[in-house]
Structure 1
Amino acid sequence: MNPSGDPHSPRILVVDDEAIVLGALKETLERDGHRVTATTSPIRALEMLRDQDFAVILSDHRMPEMMGLDFLIESRKIRPNASRILITAVLSLPTIVEAINKGEIFRFVAKPWLREELAATIRNAFQRHHLVSENERLSAQTQELNSRLMVANASLARQVKDLEKQKSALDAANQDLATSYDHSLDLCSRILATYDPYLGGQTKAVVEIAQCMADTNHFTDGERHALRTGAWLCDLGLIGIPRELLRAFRTHPSRLTERERESIQTHPIYSQTLASYVDTNPLVAETIRAHHERFDGTGFPDALRAQSIPWPARCLAVAVCFVESGLAKEKAIEAILAESGKAFDPEAVRLFLKVTHLVQLPRQVHEIMLEELQPGMVLANGLYSPHGLLLVGEGQTLSASTIAKIRNHNLISAISQRLLVYS
């Protein structure tokens, strides 16, 4: 706080009209390492205060030019943070009361003074000056920071307001984009219906089934979008096929020539190309291209198999087959179940049956998917390997180890049966 020999350390101003007393005070304080400025004139001391800063002001009371208390009152106006000490031989009660009431005095020192008492008073005076100055500095810093904070808050409020405006504009743009996207899908559907009304009706039926499947929690957001969009656009490439060939394919597919069959089997590629003008999402393109692939790898156009076929395409294949088979509901379901594990992913078939509710089940039985198996469930039908080996019998309560066994077997050889459990 007051290091000896430091030229920048706080200073003491001593005022006493008696030169001998003034010299003694100066010598005593300098011996303790303080930087001291001394004068016999309070008027001169006030001039010094205007030019220099002092941490402590020590003044005699009875002086001819000005009373010490009056001098300290004036000094406070110039250096309000300085610690003011009144030194006097006569400590009259009125003087003490006046000094305390006006709050101008930090301490009183009686003449003759004790060196230890004076040293302790000076140390306390320096500490008080440091605390007051530091508090003033911190207060000013706090005010400055508060001012900056107010400016920053105002700027932040403006930025938030701007962001809200941008968000509103972005939401409106996204809404317009979504509306435009829906209009594009609707336009494609109308083109299909105009080209071939029967084809347009099939597309709407496929979309309804795909929507039911997509509404489950068995898809990521990207897969859900690919399935919904793929249902709208998967047959768009058929508008490049002559109507007569389409009718022949529906009524007598076995009579088609190899070239005509190849023409039909290229429509997923054409659909993929045309769909890219509506949606550039890669998974949408892959789903549309692969919706006629078979789980066993004998489909078209790329002969993909099993998990290499995108999950949305595996689900879309079941919906398309059901709608485009031209069979009655029961016969179409039988055909799909017969091809489970061959043309179709068994999990996709199970999902199709679960969401469409096309098969009437007893009230206490419901259909689930392989990934939904939980310990404690009771099977309502037996599960068999493709070679007819019984894996889990009807009525068996599933344990964690049994479920693990079923899933491991499915990885090696897909379990094609429906999964029915008692509720």
Structure 2
Amino acid sequence: MEEQLPTPQNDKPKVLLVDDEESILNSLRRLLRGQPYDVLLATSGAQALEIMAQQPIDLVMTDARMPNMDGATLLAHVHQRYPDTTRIMLTGYADPSVIIKAINEGQIHRYISKPWHDEDMLLTLRQSLAYQHSERERLRLVQQAWDQNEQLKLLNATLEKHVASRTAELQQTADMLDLAYEELKHSYVTSTEVFSLLANLRLPPPKQTNRQIIELVRVYCQRHHLDEGTGRDLTMAAALYNIGKLSWTDRMMTAPADLLHHNDRERYRGYPKQSESLLMTLEPMKDAARLILHHQERWDGNGFPDRLKGEAIPFGARLLKLAVDFIELQRGLILERQMNSDEALVYIRNYAGRLYDPGMVEDFIQVCAAYLSDVSLADPSVKVLTTRDVAAGMILARNLNADNGMLLLNAGKVLNGALVEKLIAFEAMEGAKYAIFVTVPEDLNGATLEADKVAPALH
């Protein structure tokens, strides 16, 4: 297949008109006089192919009925040899077989009937060439991203050696980028995940979120058998939900949202809109961008940017908020204290009907339990109680930590009255409020209290 070079950006688009009737060609040439195109004429399919072999052509418009080689056959040759050239059929005969052949073999972009309206003809040419230009620009930007990534890897290779753990992390990211770019031309989903990895380089490993959110969303989609399009949009939204944060300072990138001051808080509230704006120019990203725009809306209508309420919030945005908050609560990006997975789910359950769709919360907890091995909240035998609700004989279902991260009691510990009193006193002294995950034996009176050691903080 011959390869046609793209038209240089500073040249006028070249338009080739093909018709065996010179009067038609003359009419079209007069119509296009003064338009920003270089117009070339051909009276046969063979002559048109000769012209295209000598110079790049941006758009071919041909009559359907011509001797020797009809328009559909010509456009089939053009599609095979010069697939980037825009193809338009012009005919005065409503012959379905000709139209079907042009569509199937020539893969035409538009079909225009004779006689034509001059304004419609000019509009069709403008729109076709504008679409062609935007597609070439997209491909140029993809190539530019590839080139910049290669330059970035070259620069990294020349930098002084980093700390061993950091070097290993960057190498792993570079390897993942290499693999992802192999499939870039086949999948926008893959490209969005690549960009999310680049964004993660702005954050230390304990604060990175995108990969975990992507995987959690995928598990949800698989468990609920969501259609491929919805799953693709959710995955791309999960990968790029925080791309609007890349212009922030390092301090603001890692600070808990709850502790941001007034100016920073206003900037924080603008990041969903900023993320959406960066992605809306990409046609396949429009639906994902809409989910990103609304993923900080709240069920009670007090979210941002548009204060949508209830089911007015797109389903995908409601799911994305659950996944983002679940992971960011564990990273310390929402509250100052980093929660474990169960504590994050208790927080989400407590705010069902205010921040989150109450109809999705319990189902989301079950998905998290299927995805993570350390989630005990989905177990019906596990209860979440306050210190004043626990009783002697109950068994800790998971480790109990103070707000500063210090271990207080190990999972499996059987509580007695003295330990409960110490927990209440310690909680009051720290000004904290603990969520205690316990299992309750069927017969508390018959439970045998173990003599396990209490963590030093409670002695």
Q: TM-score range by the shorter chain?
A: 0.3 to 0.5
Query: What TM-score, normalized by structure 1, do the two folds share?
Result: 0.41
Structure with bigger helix share is 1
In terms of Rg, which structure is larger? 1
Query: What TM-score, normalized by structure 2, do the two folds share?
Result: 0.38
